[in-house]
């Protein structure tokens, strides 16, 4: 009796992590594309039938990819170069692929020797795919596999409208449902894979919601309610998940190239038809494989120019702007956060500003400031918007931020909802231009006990101009009170550049903290 084994490998949310070191200090790390390369080369020596799918979010996240966008776009996209070399079978369009506009995405697609997938991103007013193709067919001898791609349709809630102009993001669940039926009728595959750049919104075992059901993540619903899917590759949430729902194998391999998703499927041929007899989804740790030096040689030029750029000195700090503990930065005002808010306020000429500490790896600034320090602390390609908010909107936003904290046995802690199922420390904002107090002993929704502007209590009906990053201005992070507000001004220069310009114009930055807010418990 004829048998066959297929191995499906998923990478997802690589976010530009190629070289095995941290750009903040060049200390070694044991993950990234160099390790994935070694893993894939080893696997292909051991297995005959290997299918490699990337699930999106590749272009944004490290100084390597940021410097490419700023200085080296005349060269090939470094991530695409590596995917080509490693013989990826396909990649899905992720939400961060739009961060630098459609031209960069189109260029990457043209440079790729593999297809880009997404069935639900269409040209506005049509059903015509805007990029790539909805699905591919792969054959291993006479065994037929279909891979259908889809992307979270929540992108318009975060992305700069200019970057997605002319596009329509159809509901991912509905699109997948329609395409699965159509493809089953046309192709009649032996194995049906959906690669969805979106996450899992419910517990795989109990089916209970693990987050607010906004439609951003629909993987559980897809597996539970759409017939005809055998494997569901997920991403977007940066989680490590493997399991099954309704007979569908589901996997999510984390982020930054720390692990891969591996699904092995065994088939047996009965009466001339391949039938699946076993399927095993697991998370594979890649650390033990080591980094592949040959693959890094292909992008060494990009790396060298990135390192030169990062080492450029731009200014000095008078005082102390180092971050020693990110939790206490959020619990008690810190000079680095005040600095970021003041950059925003000056760039936008706005009286009020809010920002977050985006990463728990942020170190702030030492005595000397280089470009490396800026990009290590401000890791997203955000631009700025000034939006018009009422005093009540501001109060509600502060209440959303105050839900970041909880008190356990008299000790201030991060609320579990900001840690699981995905860390969301970047969704806690700190404000400048207003004076406020958050009392964490009080119930959520009643924690703002002081809120003033220029020494006067905020008028809940009065309108105020507030500057913030474009992600937050769109309502991202469950700041629904910002969604659809009047945009007064847009600053189309990303924050890394604005911060560099701010420092260069002064050369010496004062480490100041006016203590306009505090958290009590």
- Condensed to tens digits (0 to 9), the pLDDT of residues 407-463 reads 999 999 999 999 988 899 999 999 999 999 999 999 999 999 999 999 999 999 999
- Condensed to tens digits (0 to 9), the pLDDT of residues 256-312 reads 999 999 999 999 999 889 999 999 999 999 998 889 999 999 999 999 999 999 999
**99 phi/psi in degrees, rounded to 5:** -60, -30
Q: Cα(358)–Cα(362) distance, rounded to whole angstroms?
A: 8
Nearest partner of 347 among 460, 483, 503, 458, judged by Cα = 503
- The residue-averaged pLDDT of 181-203 equals 97
Domains of the chain: 3-306 (3.60.21.10), 313-520 (3.90.780.10)
pLDDT of residue 158: 80
- Helix, strand, or coil here: 30? coil
**Can you read off the two tokens belonging to residue 46?**
């051991």
- Condensed to tens digits (0 to 9), the pLDDT of residues 232-269 reads 999 999 999 999 999 999 999 999 999 999 999 999 99
pLDDT of residue 492: 73
pLDDT of residue 490: 83
Instruction: Say if residues 116 and 90 touch (Cβ distance below 8 Å).
Output: yes
For the chain, what is the mean pLDDT? 95
Indicate whether 362 pLDDT > 80.
yes
pTM: 0.84
Name the band, by pLDDT with cuts 50, 70 and 90, for residue 159.
confident
- Condensed to tens digits (0 to 9), the pLDDT of residues 26-59 reads 999 999 999 999 999 999 999 999 999 999 999 8
Q: Cα(33)–Cα(207) distance, rounded to whole angstroms?
A: 34
Indicate whether 25 pLDDT > 90.
no
Q: Cα(381)–Cα(65) distance, rounded to whole angstroms?
A: 11
229: which residues sit within 8 A by CB, 6+ positions away? 180, 192, 193, 194, 222, 223, 248
What is each CA distance from 509 to 2, 179, 310, 319, 499, in whole angstroms?
71, 56, 19, 9, 11
- The residues that bridge with 253 in the sheet, in sequence order, are 240
pLDDT of residue 381: 81
Strands of 259-270's sheet, edge to edge? Answer: 116-117, 90-92, 50-54, 3-11, 259-270, 273-285
pLDDT of residue 194: 98
Give me the DSSP letters along 443-472: PTTS-EEEEEETTEEPPTTSEEEEEEEHHH
- Condensed to tens digits (0 to 9), the pLDDT of residues 89-124 reads 999 999 999 989 999 999 999 999 999 999 999 999
């Amino acid at each position: 009796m004829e048998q066959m084994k297929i191995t499906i490998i998923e990478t997802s949310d690589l976010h530009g992590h190629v070289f095995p070191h941290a750009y903040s200090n060049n200390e070694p790390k044991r993950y990234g594309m160099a390790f994935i390369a070694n893993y894939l080369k080893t696997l292909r020596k051991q297995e005959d039938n290997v299918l490699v799918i990337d699930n999106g979010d590749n272009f944004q996240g490290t100084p390597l990819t940021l410097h490419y966008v700023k200085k080296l776009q005349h060269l090939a996209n470094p991530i695409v170069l590596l995917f080509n070399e490693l013989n990826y079978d396909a990649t899905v369009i992720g939400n961060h692929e739009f961060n630098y506009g459609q031209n960069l995405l189109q260029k990457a697609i043209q440079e790729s020797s593999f297809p880009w997938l997404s069935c639900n991103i269409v040209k506005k007013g049509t059903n015509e795919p805007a990029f790539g193709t909805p699905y591919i067919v792969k054959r291993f001898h006479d065994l037929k596999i279909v891979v259908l791609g889809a992307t979270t349709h929540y992108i318009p809630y975060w992305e700069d409208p200019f970057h997605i102009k002319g596009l329509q993001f159809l509901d991912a669940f509905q699109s997948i449902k329609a395409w699965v039926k159509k493809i089953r009728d046309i192709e009649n595959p032996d194995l049906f894979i959906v690669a969805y750049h979106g996450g899992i919104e419910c517990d795989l075992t109990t089916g209970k919601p693990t987050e607010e059901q906004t439609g951003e993540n629909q993987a559980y619903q897809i597996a539970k309610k759409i017939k005809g899917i055998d494997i569901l590759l997920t991403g977007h949430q940066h989680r490590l998940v493997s399991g099954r729902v309704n007979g569908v194998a589901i996997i999510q391999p984390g982020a930054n190239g720390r692990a891969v998703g591996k699904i092995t499927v065994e088939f047996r041929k009965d009466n001339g038809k391949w039938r699946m007899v076993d399927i095993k989804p697991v998370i594979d740790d890649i650390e033990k494989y080591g980094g592949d030096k040959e693959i890094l040689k292909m992008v060494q030029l990009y790396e060298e120019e990135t390192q030169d750029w990062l080492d450029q000195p731009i200014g000095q700090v008078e005082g102390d702007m180092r971050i020693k503990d990110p939790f206490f930065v959020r619990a008690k005002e810190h000079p680095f956060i005040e600095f970021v808010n003041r950059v925003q306020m000056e760039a936008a000429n706005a009286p009020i500003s809010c920002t977050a500490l985006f990463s728990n790896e942020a170190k702030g600034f030492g005595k000397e400031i280089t470009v490396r320090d800026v990009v290590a602390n401000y890791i997203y390609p955000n631009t700025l918007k000034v939006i018009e908010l009422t005093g009540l909107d501001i109060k509600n936003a502060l209440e959303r931020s105050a839900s970041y904290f909880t008190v356990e046995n008299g000790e201030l802690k991060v609320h579990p909802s900001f840690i699981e199922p995905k860390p969301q420390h970047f969704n806690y904002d700190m404000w400048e231009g207003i004076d406020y107090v958050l009392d964490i002993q009080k119930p959520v929704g009643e924690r703002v006990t002081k809120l003033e502007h220029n020494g006067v209590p905020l008028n809940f009906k009065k309108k105020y101009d507030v500057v913030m990053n474009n992600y937050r201005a769109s309502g991202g992070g469950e700041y629904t009170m910002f969604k659809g507000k009047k945009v007064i001004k847009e600053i189309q220069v990303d924050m890394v550049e604005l911060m560099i310009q701010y420092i260069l114009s002064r050369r010496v930055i004062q480490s100041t903290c006016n203590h306009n807010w505090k958290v009590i418990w």
